[in-house]
Homo-oligomer: A and B are copies of this chain.
Amino acid sequence: MVLSLVAGSGNPILAGNLSAALRAPLVPRVLEHFADGELHVELEQTVRGHDVYVLESICPPVDTHLLELFFIADACRRAGAGRLTAVLPYFAYARQDRRAHGREPIGAHLVARMIEATGFHRVIAIDLHSPEIEGFFHLPLEHLTAAPLLAQAVSASSDTIIVAPDLGAVKLAERYQAILQCPIAVVHKTRLSGESVSVRSIVGDVKGRAPLIVDDMISTAGTIEAAVKALFEAGCRSDVRIAATHALLVGPAFTRLAALPIREFLTTNTVAPLEPLPNPHRVVDVAPLLADVIGRLAHERSLESLVVHR
């Protein structure tokens, strides 16, 4: 099957990089909204019988990008695409993975169900906030991680300590540890409200060490802010580094980050940035990782050697 790459509007730069990495031009497409806000999609090149990869980062505005994903899928399917794979570098609603109260929806379940209903055959995702979301799908979902890419971009010294800013990040921290061979500390928090965080204690000896805070995503940066504060109180060195796959950075995130003494912010381009980061930063391109996986899937080759990215 011919490989075709169709991109939604969620992350045009990543789309370009992925196209280059795959040596596959993006399928030209119309993707516009009418005056009444209705989406209009049209592919301008045949995908009949092709192995089609639809790239869409479900970053804000999330509802718009979700609808785009579904409309592109329907266009491809009706146009005779041979196989349809959703490539979702950032997967929205991943935190709605269960009901906290009895009368809530499970957002991630709904997204999974709609992806299945619109005709996809396979999904590729990166560093899902809740890895169990794989089980929300009857479709195969390939869950990749960018942690090794970010870890390799770090130059760790002997006094570096990897910090999980909450318990949910410990497994990720261990992925960094496997590469960087540094000790780990954990900031154990209790959430007081939706966006603020109350740091209680730190597991591990951070005194005099240079912290590398790692997380899957940075949304409002509240968790990071609280972690940094706690680390300083615990005698940590002030040259903080942060590594996070998804730099969503919404609401007060830019303000908060600007106020922190961050030596370096390491992230990837899964999310298209809204504005330039206020801190010294490096952005690792996930296009080579995605291109590698897509290439293997397209040629029916094993993903086995990718195991470090899964």
Residues of A within 8 A of B (CB): 34-44, 46-50, 60-64, 66-67, 70-80, 82, 92-93, 95-99, 101-110, 112-114, 117-119, 122, 130-136, 138, 140, 142-143, 167, 170, 174, 186, 188, 190, 194-195, 201, 203-204, 219-220, 248, 250-252, 296-297, 300-304, 307, 310
Q: B103 and A43: CB pair below 8 A? A: yes
Given A38-B62, A110-B74, A135-B97, A297 and B80 contact (CB-CB distance below 8 Å): yes
Oligomeric state, in copies = 6
Please indicate the chain B residues that have their CB under 8 angstroms from the CB of A219 in the complex.
Answer: 35-36
CB distance from A299 to the nearest CB of B (A): 8
- Supply 21 A–B pairs (Cβ within 8 Å), ascending by A: A35-B251, A36-B219, A37-B60, A37-B63, A37-B92, A40-B104, A41-B105, A42-B104, A46-B304, A48-B300, A66-B67, A74-B106, A78-B140, A79-B102, A80-B122, A98-B134, A99-B134, A113-B138, A114-B114, A114-B117, A188-B203
Please indicate the chain B residues that have their CB under 8 angstroms from the CB of A72 in the complex.
Answer: 105
